[in-house]
Structure 1
Amino acid sequence: MQKFEDILHTHGDYIVRLCYTYTKEWQMAEDLTQETFLRFYEAQEKFRYEADVKTYLYRIAVNRCKTYLASWRYKQTQLMQLGQKLIAKEDVALQVEQKDESMQLYEKIKKLPVKYREVLVFYHYLDWTIAQIAQLLGCSENTVKTRLRRGRQQLGQLLEKGGAMDGPDY
């Protein structure tokens, strides 16, 4: 049986890099790595070493990452970062002109049901692939494609009308 410190030193860098591939943020990858090793430490007595420790840690880390990526907190963070990136990239004069247009578009996007809004933002603003979005949302790639198409259609209707969507916001 390996000591916990040995396991931490042997697999720590690997788990951080694994978490980073999911989150694309070093700070969050480090936090998720800590959670992974905390979970392993708490369950270490139950671990029978029939499987490789690396495989076991990998599974814990992947589950922690998926839980984080599916959380509303993560989605909110991504939307806020997107807004900050868009503002930081633009020239100040152009910013003032485009801010009104962006706010109008953002207001229209906010009126879409969440299932369409999130795929539009992840696909068009965050440049995620259909497969990545499907994995994040826990649905099929065809479902993501359908939501993208319907979201674009509804957004187009909103932009043509200049009005609000009827129906509940879910």
Structure 2
Amino acid sequence: MTEGMDKRAIFDELMMTYGKDVWNYAYFMTKRRDLADDIVQDVFLKVYGHMDIFHGGTSVKSWLLTITRNTALDYLKTAWIRRVQLFPDRFRTETHLSAENEWFGNEEKRRIWKLVLELPRKQREVLLLATHYQMPMKEISDLLGLSEGTVKSRLYRARQAVGKQLADGVSERSERT
């Protein structure tokens, strides 16, 4: 990765390009902002020290997310996890909505993320990689060390669970009105 190029410039580019993705993934796995911050620092320290061993067998994003996942799992072995909600900037819209529409849109996103965060970690992780990071099944299976069939199965179950909870929430609201 660093042949003929300035290591610091490459590192800066990696941080600028993937820093937010690394933080979001760390946060999604730990559900704690402080741990996500620590994990990001550790990940990029590892990346800086090992940039010369990356030879392009996978995408740079997959490599970084694999390091992030492994680092987060190390943190989770000793960390106490508490429930929080995730609000990535990717969901901000460029058009100006009415205050009411914006509130309802944000409320729906919070509700969906809350449901996603309630999924078992294995389903939550696959759903995040497939939808938020738009990774292909092959890359997800390589990153997680699973067969593509297992990844597809977990993704299907995750989508079913979130869909069911959303449908249940809609029917509960319509019964109240």
Pick the aligned partner of 2:141 from 110, 129, 134: 134
Gaps of 5+ in 1: 1-7, 38-56, 74-78, 164-170
Distance between the aligned counterparts of 1:72 and 1:92, measured in 2?
A: 37
- Taking the aligned partners of 1:89 and 1:149, their CA distance within structure 2 comes to 31
- Say which is worse superposed, 153-162 or 28-37, in terms of deviation: 28-37
Counterpart mapping for 1:15-54 below 5 A: 16=10, 20=14, 24-25=18-19, 31-36=45-50
The CA RMSD over aligned residues, in Å, is 4.3
Letter aligned with residue 18 of structure 2:
K
How far, CA to CA, are the matches of 2:94 and 2:129 in structure 1? 18
- TM normalised by structure 1 equals 0.54
Q: Which residue does the alignment assign to 1:91?
A: 96
Query: In 2, are the aligned partners of 1:130 and 1:145 still within 8 Å (CA)?
Result: yes
> Residue 128 of structure 1 aligns to a residue in which SS?
coil
Amino acid in the other structure paired with 2:48: Q
Contact 1:33 1:61 in 2 (8 A): no
Name the CA shift for 1:91/1:138 in 2 (closer, same or farther; >3 Å): farther
- Tell me, yes or no, if the aligned pair for 1:122 and 1:133 is still in contact at 8 Å: yes
Instruction: Tell me the percent identity.
Output: 21
Q: Which runs of 5+ in 2 are unaligned?
A: 23-39, 58-62, 74-84, 171-177
1:162, distance to aligned residue in structure 2 (A): 2.8
Normalising by the residue count of structure 2, what TM-score does the alignment of the two structures yield?
A: 0.52
Question: What is the distance in 1 between the residues matched to 2:122 and 2:111?
Answer: 20
Structure 1 pair 16–135 and aligned structure 2 pair: CA distance change class (3 A):
farther
Q: Which structure would you say has the larger Rg? A: 1
Runs of 4+ deviating beyond 4 Å:
8-13, 25-33, 59-62
Q: Distance in 1 between matches of 2:121 and 2:145?
A: 15
Counterpart residue number, 2:68: 68
SS in 2 for 1:91: coil
Q: 1:60 to 1:126 in 2, by over 3 A?
A: closer
